[in-house]
Amino acid sequence: MCRNIKTLRPPVTLDADEDDFRAAALQYVRKVSGFRAPAAHNREAFDRAVDAVAEATARLLAELEVRGAPARVAEATA
């Protein structure tokens, strides 16, 4: 597992943004591809994968329902 990817879901992280999603996506794609920086001929595929994972991450976090969260956490995520 990617140990450097932090949990972005509330209430663990209340202020996750697109930069956080992209950083997590980059770590994931690096891990599964085995490339820290891809060669020029792989750059497009690598970048598309990072974009797709970042978008999926944002969509997932937007759709998650956090139950049992303190009221201030629920308000911050609404």
The number of distinct structural domains making up the chain is 1
- In this prediction, residue 78 has a pLDDT band, given cuts at 50, 70 and 90, of low
CA-closest candidate to residue 31, choices 44, 46, 19, 9: 46
Q: Is residue 6 part of a domain?
A: no
Q: What is the mean pLDDT of the chain?
A: 82
- Supply the pTM of this predicted model: 0.74
**Quick check: bond before 11 cis, omega within 30?**
yes
Collapsing DSSP states into helix, strand and coil, what is residue 68? coil
Percent of the chain scoring above 70 in pLDDT: 73
Residue at 7 is within a domain: no
The answer to whether residue 9 is domain-embedded is no
Q: Is residue 27 part of a domain?
A: yes
Quick check: is 13 in a domain? no
Can you tell me the distance from the alpha carbon of 44 to that of 48, in angstroms, rounded to the nearest whole number?
Answer: 6
8 A C-beta contact, residue 35 and residue 67:
no
Q: pLDDT confidence of 16, banded at 50, 70, 90?
A: confident
What tens digit of pLDDT does each residue of 29-55 get? 999 999 999 999 999 999 999 999 999
Domain-embedded: residue 3: no
